[in-house]
Amino acid sequence: MTPEFVLGFSRQALETAMLVAAPMLTVGLFVGLAVAIFQAVTQIHEVTLTFIPKIAAMAVAAYLSGGWMMEHLITFTKNSFSLMSGLGA
């Protein structure tokens, strides 16, 4: 196992993790921003008002992009197993 292999595999793992997390995190970011603006305008500072919409929006995002995320994870897993079989003696 060479250092280049380890770095390449680590990079691929981090890229996959960012791609899979991106849809839910992006939706959470925009919903959180909208709720923060709403709270600033109306001066309503309720703690549950920040969490409930974000959780609901992120659940919808996970449901809508679940197939795409699973496809990326399966591809990464298949590539990982094929690389592991090549490392054996």
Rounded Cα gap, residues 14 and 17, in angstroms: 5
pTM of the complete model: 0.78
Which residues have CB under 8 Å from 18's CB, separation 6+?
Answer: none
Q: What is the pLDDT of residue 88?
A: 62
pLDDT tens digit sequence for 41-84: 998 888 888 899 999 999 999 999 999 999 999 999 999 998 88
The dihedral over CA atoms of 36, 38, 43, 47, expressed in degrees to the nearest 10, equals: -50
pLDDT tens digit sequence for 15-51: 999 999 999 999 999 999 999 999 999 988 888 888 9
The two three-digit tokens of residue 20, written as one number: 């899979």
Answer yes or no: is pLDDT of 89 > 60.
no
- Would residue 58 be called left, alpha or beta, if left means φ above 0 and alpha means ψ between -120 and 50 degrees? alpha
- pLDDT more than 90, % of the chain: 66
Helix (H, G, I), strand (E, B) or coil at 15: helix
